[in-house]
Structure 1
Amino acid sequence: MKPLDPRLLRRARAARLFLLASIVLGVASGALVIVQAVLLAHGIAGVVLRGSGVTAVAWGLAAVVAGRALLVWAQEVVAQRAAAAVKSTLRRQVLEHALKLGPVRLSGERSSALTTLLTKGLDDLDPYFARYLPQLVLASTVPAGVIGWMATGDLLAAGTVLVTLPLIPIFMTLIGWAARAHSRHRQHALAILAHHFADVTGGMTTLKLFGRAKAQTAAVQQVTDRYRIASLGTLRLAFLSSLVLDLLASLSVALVAIGVGLRLVDGKLGLETALVVLILAPEAYLPLRQLGMQFHASADGVAASEEALRVLETAVPNWGDRRDVPDLRCTALSLYDVTVTYPGRDAPALNGFDLELRPGEIVALTGPSGSGKSTVLAAILGLVAIESGGVVAGGSGAAEFEPRVWRRQFAWVPQHPSLRDGSVAANVRLGRPDASDDEVLTSLDAAGARELSPAQRVGERGALLSGGQRRRVALARALITDAAVLLLDEPTAGLDCETEAEVIAGLRGAGRTVLLVAHRPAWIAAADRVVELGRSANEYRELSVS
């Protein structure tokens, strides 16, 4: 990432305002540095040569010190507020963009890595705004002012500083390349640690069942050691870079001091002028030295913002803005020549797939795992990019409509439905928040879940329910909506035959159009039509139902 990425300025208005305020404060700080040096030199020269003038200089220095303290306080306040505003903006934008990308498009993104980015990752922007960017402004303004003022008194000393000063940015750039690689490696190690820990925690029941829970301790320790080694490598590089920058600055100031001292002894330079040059020389190098140190403190935030911007720049599907979606209760839905290829894969998941879904009928999709059944549902919802062909309703393509309006026609129950911690009724009402208690009971009954009390808690991710109960709660949530079409992915997996028959009867009684992924014979027998997909992406056929 660049020292000041223009993409960040475009994304966050607070960053632009903060940069403007930092420039103003930086110029003011540079001016006070010069005034302080002049006052010190004048005071010391006055005492040595004239023995007077100390009181006025002391009051002037006190005012300058107070002014610099006030500027530091103002810079800190502005930086903290800007950092909070930018973090809030990026978090909101990433979440909104993730919603636009959809769950299928984000399947390549580890959910734990995205969670880490939006929490710990973006919190690392605090030192970037509070330390690095203000120091970057100071490094851009103070040295120029200091060298210009030195040139008015001692051109040779100003030339020495001007020649040696670029050495610090050169070494900073070389060190920065290495630091950026270390920070990215550390950020990646943190994402792996978060993902691995989340997997172990989520699968603890299975691990205990097979006696592998204790064995995961070594695996977690190994991943933690990678993160620790990456963190120590970043710290080691930061300490070594500070040593190099301090050494360069010290040698450069020493060259200036030697030249000034020799000219002062020869009488070619006045005492007050020599003092101004000697006091200002370290101030010319100090902002760049501090910038090098603050770069490492902000490197994690820079890496996090790069990752956030990468997510934000992921292309989203092109949708129209039409809101006049045809009513699918009385309009057929057609898929024609649909081809879908997932990113990172060469073979298409679907190739030239055709299907017509007529109002009120139940159509079952069957076929081996990986044949593209779930992809058909995702294509209808617009959760995957369709390379060719399209989804049509009433003579118009789905991509012409506003996505939220289009998706209101559908209720989707994925293969692994997600439930929130709360009551059964609260999860069902996610489909329609204004549903009454009687409507919740009716939808649970239609989903074959009458044994579940609406007040019963489901736990985090439905942990207090069985797999079959989670699916039936999700099905009740779909049934309580006003959606014309139900898209179901193995809705009765894990259910006994009697409960499955109740679910089939409930869906028949709902009178909705149903497109479902099914393997169980009961659903195949109950469907109006069965479409079988083959192992190849372009193999599919419609089976007759007796």
Structure 2
Amino acid sequence: MKPLDPRLLRRARAARWYVALTAALGVAAAGALVLQAFAIAHALGPAVTAGSAGTPLALSDVAPWLGALVATIAARAAIAWAQERYAQKAAADVVAELREQVVAHTVALGPRPAGEGGAAATATLATRGLDDLGPYLVRYLPQLLLTAIVTPVLVLVVLGLDWVSALICVVTLPLVPLFMWLVGVMTAGASERRLHTIERLGAQVLDLLAGLPTLRAFGREIGPGARVRALGDASRRATMGTLRIAFLSGMVLELLTTLSVAIVAVGVGLRLVEGMIALVPAIAVLVLAPEVYLPLRRVGAEFHSSTDGLAAAERAFTVLERPLPAAGTATAPALAGATLVLDGVGVRAGDRAVLAPAGLTARVPLGTGRPGGGRVVALRGPSGAGKSTTALVLLGLLRPDEGRVLVETAPHEAPVDLADLDPATWWPQVTWVPQRPTLVAGTVRDAVTDGRPVTADALEAAARTTGLHDVVAGLPQGWDTPVGLGGTGLSVGQRQRVALAAALLDGGAPGGAAPPPLVLLDEPTAHLDARGEQVVLDTVRAWRAAGRTVVVVAHRASLLALADQVVDVASRTVGPVEAVVS
């Protein structure tokens, strides 16, 4: 693991100016240190000489150096303040930049798991993981740059004052990074194991929360608690192990640098007694000697607080370097009256040797947009067969590992592969209602209209069709009732009604484009009671009557009975060779 990864400078613009600023402040700090050492030496030397000789000290002889000492102290305080201030700002900016890039890249990769641990590991990385990068930027990186700038400058100054002391510094200085490297290798491994443990814990908790309704339905909501506690204990043990190594290694480094400074001081003292070095240079060397080792000591002390951040940054770069699927560039044709052809579609289920769906072949005529020209197509199959995955393939979010999806617009025209189409021209022609709708923060009216100009009559008609009218009537502020991010404040069934109403109004604004001819529903009745199920059925009938094709992932018999076409979806286990090829 590199102390300063070049990828950090390439990925985060804030890191580049921060490194340049820190280097400039390091040069200023080196100059202030040298001036302070000479000011102390020239102010203290005459005072010691005058005291030993019994002669009075003329204040005019040391006043300029005392003024210089006060000025250097003020300058060092200003440099430290600037370093701390801009370090905090740069750390926040860098973390925000990397977090935004990780999230955007993960979204561009599609709904498939993003590397080891899947989406849960990426969520942990983008939240708590990247926050650990702060100590690295605030504490470790400035000291690293100061070591590269200040230490060589001070060694050269000491060489000009006393070559023996400079030789001692040159011999002992390499021992500090050597010991840092030895203990750093151990600490880096412990930090990576700790981050991996936290990611596993985050994945387990997210999976538990996602499946909590199912667990409660079967009375198993208490069982996974033992697993979560075990992962929490593992995280605690990993953290304490990292801290133990940090404390022990810090003690070793402190002892080594203290002994090195003591050797310089003893040598200077002995030669001062023998008259081999003047008093003023000796005092300057004694003042500068601890400062020569100080940046390295701080690097060693702060290195352990940086390893978590460096491990998280490495994970972030791993995600960012995953190649994106090639995006189509062709303009999607008008879908009204077209036909979707699924030709042997198969999608690999995560890292498992399973295709779900497998060999899916079907023809789905799309709505004409005219009353009576609609159609309801139900995707039927057991859990895990790939029905929801098929919906993602039709959306263009997933590319099949086998087969292809074609768009036939006319008998005499060649079909177009969905993978070759620009998603920006495909998605406006598709209405998507997921199983768990996510609503933007705002009012209920904002969630339904999504900023579109919708008349009051159209809004009321959509609300009555989807049953949202009764929900709004029971809310304290009606349509102006605020809901939180993701729909907080509404139940799952109420969110479903909001999403259905928004889908009904999709493309139906006055003067707007024609409604999308294709509607995709992912198990819309999964969390609804009988009344809510009837609302969904009425909404699907309304879409069909308006001339739109509704592709619905269906489990309940009521939706299957409503369908004009039923497509059976099945999975298939593939062998090792087949899995590698797919």
TM-score range, shorter chain: 0.7 to 0.9
- Hey, what does 1:486 align to over in structure 2? 519
Provide closer, same or farther for how the CA distance between residues 259 and 462 of structure 1 changes in structure 2, counting only shifts above 3 A. Answer: closer
Contact kept in structure 1, 2:342 and 2:405, CA below 8 Å? yes
- TM-score by length of structure 2 reads 0.82
Provide closer, same or farther for how the CA distance between residues 277 and 436 of structure 1 changes in structure 2, counting only shifts above 3 A. Answer: same
Q: 1:411: Cα distance to partner?
A: 1.4
Q: 1:109: Cα distance to partner?
A: 5.7
Instruction: Give 1:90's match in structure 2, choosing from 98, 116, 123.
Output: 98
Secondary structure of the corresponding residue to residue 408 of structure 1 = helix
- Hey, what does 1:145 align to over in structure 2? 153
Contact kept in structure 2, 1:341 and 1:347, CA below 8 Å? yes
Q: 1:114: Cα distance to partner?
A: 4.6
Measured in 2, the distance between the counterparts of 1:92 and 1:318 equals: 21
Contact kept in structure 2, 1:94 and 1:311, CA below 8 Å? yes
- Hey, what does 1:245 align to over in structure 2? 253
Measured in 1, the distance between the counterparts of 2:26 and 2:73 equals: 15
Contact kept in structure 1, 2:377 and 2:552, CA below 8 Å? yes
Measured in 1, the distance between the counterparts of 2:488 and 2:90 equals: 40
Provide closer, same or farther for how the CA distance between residues 74 and 344 of structure 1 changes in structure 2, counting only shifts above 3 A. Answer: same
- Hey, what does 1:543 align to over in structure 2? none
- Hey, what does 1:409 align to over in structure 2? 429
Alignment of 1:143-542 (within 5 A): 143-194=151-202, 221-322=229-330, 324-360=331-367, 361-393=375-407, 394=409, 395-419=415-439, 424-430=444-450, 433-447=452-466, 451-453=470-472, 455=478, 469-482=494-507, 483-493=516-526, 494-496=528-530, 499=535, 501-536=537-572
Q: Any gaps of 5 or more consecutive residues in structure 2?
A: 51-56, 368-374, 410-414, 508-515, 575-582
Q: 1:438: Cα distance to partner?
A: 2.6
- Matching residue's letter, 1:292: G
Q: 1:246: Cα distance to partner?
A: 0.6
Deviations 1:43-67 (A, max 9, x none): 3332333555322221121121111
Q: 1:13: Cα distance to partner?
A: 1.1
Secondary structure of the corresponding residue to residue 354 of structure 2 = coil
- Hey, what does 1:80 align to over in structure 2? 88
Measured in 1, the distance between the counterparts of 2:444 and 2:44 equals: 80
Provide closer, same or farther for how the CA distance between residues 213 and 535 of structure 1 changes in structure 2, counting only shifts above 3 A. Answer: closer
Provide closer, same or farther for how the CA distance between residues 526 and 207 of structure 1 changes in structure 2, counting only shifts above 3 A. Answer: closer
Measured in 1, the distance between the counterparts of 2:391 and 2:224 equals: 36
Q: 1:136: Cα distance to partner?
A: 0.8
Larger displacement relative to structure 2 (262-271 or 212-221): 212-221
Measured in 2, the distance between the counterparts of 1:58 and 1:464 equals: 67
Measured in 2, the distance between the counterparts of 1:3 and 1:527 equals: 61
Contact kept in structure 2, 1:22 and 1:137, CA below 8 Å? yes
Secondary structure of the corresponding residue to residue 552 of structure 2 = strand
Provide closer, same or farther for how the CA distance between residues 467 and 128 of structure 1 changes in structure 2, counting only shifts above 3 A. Answer: closer
Secondary structure of the corresponding residue to residue 138 of structure 1 = helix
Larger displacement relative to structure 2 (188-197 or 469-478): 188-197
- Matching residue's letter, 2:563: A
Q: 1:345: Cα distance to partner?
A: 2.0
Measured in 2, the distance between the counterparts of 1:64 and 1:452 equals: 70
Provide closer, same or farther for how the CA distance between residues 57 and 98 of structure 1 changes in structure 2, counting only shifts above 3 A. Answer: same
Larger displacement relative to structure 2 (474-483 or 280-289): 474-483
Secondary structure of the corresponding residue to residue 183 of structure 1 = helix
Provide closer, same or farther for how the CA distance between residues 252 and 435 of structure 1 changes in structure 2, counting only shifts above 3 A. Answer: same
Provide closer, same or farther for how the CA distance between residues 519 and 215 of structure 1 changes in structure 2, counting only shifts above 3 A. Answer: closer
Q: 1:472: Cα distance to partner?
A: 4.0
- Hey, what does 1:129 align to over in structure 2? 137
Provide closer, same or farther for how the CA distance between residues 115 and 373 of structure 1 changes in structure 2, counting only shifts above 3 A. Answer: closer
Secondary structure of the corresponding residue to residue 370 of structure 1 = coil
Secondary structure of the corresponding residue to residue 481 of structure 1 = coil
Secondary structure of the corresponding residue to residue 368 of structure 1 = coil
Secondary structure of the corresponding residue to residue 362 of structure 1 = strand
Deviations 1:250-292 (A, max 9, x none): 1212222333333333333333333332222221111000111
- Matching residue's letter, 1:80: Q
Q: 1:532: Cα distance to partner?
A: 1.7
Deviations 1:351-400 (A, max 9, x none): 44333322223322222222222222111222223334433335333333
- Matching residue's letter, 1:415: Q
Measured in 2, the distance between the counterparts of 1:216 and 1:368 equals: 25
Q: 1:490: Cα distance to partner?
A: 2.5
Larger displacement relative to structure 2 (21-30 or 506-515): 506-515
Q: 1:198: Cα distance to partner?
A: 5.7
Contact kept in structure 2, 1:348 and 1:537, CA below 8 Å? yes
RMSD: 3.3
Q: Any gaps of 5 or more consecutive residues in structure 1?
A: 539-546
Q: How many residues align?
A: 536
Q: 1:81: Cα distance to partner?
A: 2.3
Measured in 1, the distance between the counterparts of 2:161 and 2:472 equals: 87
Larger displacement relative to structure 2 (273-282 or 464-473): 464-473
Provide closer, same or farther for how the CA distance between residues 116 and 339 of structure 1 changes in structure 2, counting only shifts above 3 A. Answer: closer
- Matching residue's letter, 2:521: L
Provide closer, same or farther for how the CA distance between residues 352 and 92 of structure 1 changes in structure 2, counting only shifts above 3 A. Answer: same
- Matching residue's letter, 2:260: S
Deviations 1:34-91 (A, max 9, x none): 2222232233332333555322221121121111112112212221222232223223
Measured in 1, the distance between the counterparts of 2:350 and 2:226 equals: 33
Measured in 2, the distance between the counterparts of 1:131 and 1:236 equals: 20
Measured in 2, the distance between the counterparts of 1:512 and 1:469 equals: 24
- Matching residue's letter, 1:406: W
Secondary structure of the corresponding residue to residue 391 of structure 1 = strand
Contact kept in structure 2, 1:448 and 1:503, CA below 8 Å? no
Q: 1:6: Cα distance to partner?
A: 1.3
Contact kept in structure 1, 2:339 and 2:364, CA below 8 Å? yes
- Hey, what does 1:48 align to over in structure 2? 48
Contact kept in structure 1, 2:125 and 2:312, CA below 8 Å? yes
Measured in 2, the distance between the counterparts of 1:490 and 1:278 equals: 77
Measured in 2, the distance between the counterparts of 1:41 and 1:191 equals: 55
- Hey, what does 1:542 align to over in structure 2? none
Contact kept in structure 1, 2:385 and 2:571, CA below 8 Å? yes
Measured in 1, the distance between the counterparts of 2:453 and 2:105 equals: 27
Deviations 1:5-27 (A, max 9, x none): 11111111111011111111111
Contact kept in structure 2, 1:329 and 1:513, CA below 8 Å? no
- Hey, what does 1:31 align to over in structure 2? 31
Q: 1:217: Cα distance to partner?
A: 6.7
